[in-house]
A and B are shown apart, each in its own frame.
Chain A
Amino acid sequence: MEPVLRVRDLGVLVGPVPAVSGVSFDIAASRRVGLIGESGSGKTLTALSIMGLLPEGLSAVGQVVHDGRELLELSEEEICEIRGDRITMVFQEPMTALNPVMRIGDQVAEVLRIHRDVSRSEAKLRAMELLRQVRLRDPEARMRAYPHQLSGGQRQRVVIALALACDPALIIADEPTTALDVTVQAQILVLLRDLVEDHGSSLLLITHDLAVVASVCEDVLVMYGGRIIESGPTRDVFDSPNHPYTDGLLAAVPEIEAGIERRSRLATIAGSVPGLGQFPTGCVFRNRCDRATEACLTEPTLLPEPSIESGLSDVDPPRRVACFHPLDSEIPS
């Protein structure tokens, strides 16, 4: 079966500097994939290139295939047909992602009117149904509300309703809960996961929160320095990371119990993320890696191409790692 989204060798140049390069992955139908990485690792740029929404002046190279169509080569008009209908997006900041001067109901109905041949009243009814699905209380009254009358959590529910409106094949959620309170975060995440499942959509969840990926996503892609450095089923990757960066990332998650008992120092990864264009030659992570050897200096580490299985819904994708000395191997001395 064709994957819902096939990305091959995607790259984004910011000026002369590659901010994203060599990104390849598949998202199988109705699978939930997490994309994790630090700020500036290229997560959001990857998402925006898939949507064709890169900021003015940036452009993406490579292949993004959905439903047999090469998205990066479509005209503005053609991509608009897919955008908002087959592939939708949930933005990070619910406080600003809704038009302040439009009623909630009108905004949800608008998306339906753009992509579906429905009358005004049908769209209204469907919009109300969507608001009910995202478990907003009293959807009838909420239809007439303006965004400023809702809390952050309520607005994010509306944004999710917007993303689900046309039963998309793929929803890209860019840090959907980062701006919310922790208690609200959990609710919104479970809601998103359940609704994505109900609607039979796939999900690409972008986050820097490992716990979020662990609870929502079946598969995970780890990004560092504009490249994917490790991927595979979430459980396997988190249980036994192969890339030293993934390992460091997982070790850096503070544990509440341990913190209270021992006031232990938090584990960190030595050094900090280099600025754009200041990544080392060879392996992008080598200057912070304690397993780096001569080999890592010159040769860039490449992630193997996704195999056929990675496009299948009911099979876990094989693990991939971009490292000369993954954790399951010995370092040659």
Chain B
Amino acid sequence: MTITDSFDLTEPEEAPAVDSGGERRRVGANLIVGAAIVLTIVATALLSFLWTPFDPTRVEVPDRLKGMGWEGHLLGTDQVGHDILSQLMVGARNTLFVGILAVGIALVVGVPLGGLAAARRGWVEESVMRLSDVIYAFPAILLAILLSAARGPGISSAMIAIGVAYIPIVARVTRGASLAVFQTDYIRAAYSYGRGRTYVFVRHVLPNISSVLIVQATVLFALAILAEAALSYLGLGVQPPAPSWGGSLVAAQTFFRIKASLAFFPGLAIAISVVGFNLLGDGIRDFLDPKLAEKT
């Protein structure tokens, strides 16, 4: 019943380094196409700071409603003679800006709330989650109208409205993913190293749920683009004459009988970017979690 002390305690030479079998990270078609689209949009938006084919706000009424390729206007001109391509490029800038800040607001508020709920459980969890249910039940558009009435319509009202509307979504996802992680042995071990809940959440739980959050953020970004377009369409987002995709759609609506193609390009830009961000989200998920990808 005793163990001899004579043997070598060093780890055996051919100790099998367990490679958690078959979890090869795959760069799927989703990821490539999604990333390509998103990068193109970002590049276009950045380029618009330096160069656009024409001044996007220059009004040339005599040149209005020209077709594609007319005198260097690659995509033609709109009802007051704006160069459509230039307008779309600058519009991309606004769209991305709103998206980034809205998703940023949602993450900055939602992640700590969800984490708090998962770490504390009990009445703290109940109140946080019921509060987020209340926000969730409140339509984002209504919130935007409310904010516009209070602070005046504009890009910042749109951003805050979209961001606040997404807080419950982020809080829920964070809470769900964190609950699972808080149950694991390594979190119990992490507590045994001598730190409290906040530290353990930030240092040990957050890195383990980051893939879920990244995917959620990209999907929310796609939704934010749609929401921004919708708000601008309603006149609650980006204010003219600053160009925006949603704003271009409203203007095009009036001229629908005369030149239907006017609505085509901003619509296409919105559609492509939403698809792009969704593909990117799916692609990242498949890349970070191959097991999940096989199931779906």
A residues with CB within 8 A of B: 51, 53, 56, 76-77, 80-85, 88-89, 91, 93, 96-102, 110-111, 114-115, 135-137, 148-154, 157, 159, 162, 186-187, 189-191, 194, 210-211, 214-215, 253
B11 in the interface (beta carbon within 8 A): yes
B189 in the interface (beta carbon within 8 A): yes
Given contacts A150-B18, A191-B9, contact A91 B185 (CB under 8 A): yes
Q: What are 8 A-B interface contacts by the 8 Å CB criterion?
A: A77-B196, A80-B196, A83-B192, A91-B185, A97-B185, A99-B207, A137-B13, A215-B1
B193 in the interface (beta carbon within 8 A): yes
- Given contact pairs A83-B194, A102-B204, A153-B11, enumerate 19 new A-B contacts (beta carbons under 8 Å): A80-B194, A81-B194, A83-B193, A84-B192, A89-B192, A93-B185, A101-B207, A101-B210, A110-B193, A111-B194, A114-B193, A114-B194, A115-B194, A148-B19, A154-B15, A187-B7, A187-B11, A190-B5, A210-B1
B18 and A148 form a contact (CB under 8 A)? yes
Bound: A191/B11 CA distance, A:
10
Which residue in chain A gives the minimum CB-CB distance to B191? A53
How far apart are A213's CB and chain B's nearest CB, in angstroms? 9
State the majority secondary structure of interface residues on B.
loop
- The residue that A100 contacts in the complex, of B1, B19, B186, B193, with Cβ under 8 A, is B186
Given contacts A99-B204, A110-B203, A137-B11, contact A88 B192 (CB under 8 A): yes
> For B204, what are the chain A residues with a Cβ–Cβ distance below 8 Å?
99, 102
- The residue that A99 contacts in the complex, of B11, B12, B186, B210, with Cβ under 8 A, is B186
Bound: A102/B121 CA distance, A:
26
> For A153, what are the chain B residues with a Cβ–Cβ distance below 8 Å?
11-12, 15
Bound: A228/B207 CA distance, A:
42
- The residue that B186 contacts in the complex, of A97, A149, A189, with Cβ under 8 A, is A97
A76 and B196 form a contact (CB under 8 A)? yes
> For A210, what are the chain B residues with a Cβ–Cβ distance below 8 Å?
1
How far apart are A282's CB and chain B's nearest CB, in angstroms? 33
A149 and B17 form a contact (CB under 8 A)? yes
> For B13, what are the chain A residues with a Cβ–Cβ distance below 8 Å?
137
B20 and A85 form a contact (CB under 8 A)? no
How far apart are A220's CB and chain B's nearest CB, in angstroms? 13
- The residue that B192 contacts in the complex, of A51, A157, A187, with Cβ under 8 A, is A51
A149 and B18 form a contact (CB under 8 A)? yes
B residues with CB within 8 A of A: 1-3, 5, 7, 9-13, 15-20, 121, 184-186, 188-196, 203-204, 207-208, 210
How far apart are B140's CB and chain A's nearest CB, in angstroms? 33
Bound: A289/B49 CA distance, A:
87
Given contacts A135-B9, A194-B9, contact A186 B3 (CB under 8 A): yes
B2 and A111 form a contact (CB under 8 A)? no
Bound: A315/B203 CA distance, A:
44
Bound: A139/B7 CA distance, A:
21
A211 and B11 form a contact (CB under 8 A)? no
> For A211, what are the chain B residues with a Cβ–Cβ distance below 8 Å?
1
B194 and A84 form a contact (CB under 8 A)? yes
> For B191, what are the chain A residues with a Cβ–Cβ distance below 8 Å?
53, 83
> For A151, what are the chain B residues with a Cβ–Cβ distance below 8 Å?
15-18
> For B207, what are the chain A residues with a Cβ–Cβ distance below 8 Å?
99, 101-102
Bound: A150/B12 CA distance, A:
12
> For A253, what are the chain B residues with a Cβ–Cβ distance below 8 Å?
1
B186 and A215 form a contact (CB under 8 A)? no
How far apart are A49's CB and chain B's nearest CB, in angstroms? 13
Bound: A29/B194 CA distance, A:
22
Which residue in chain A gives the minimum CB-CB distance to B204? A99
Which residue in chain B gives the minimum CB-CB distance to A211? B1
Given contacts A100-B186, A137-B10, A190-B5, contact A150 B194 (CB under 8 A): no
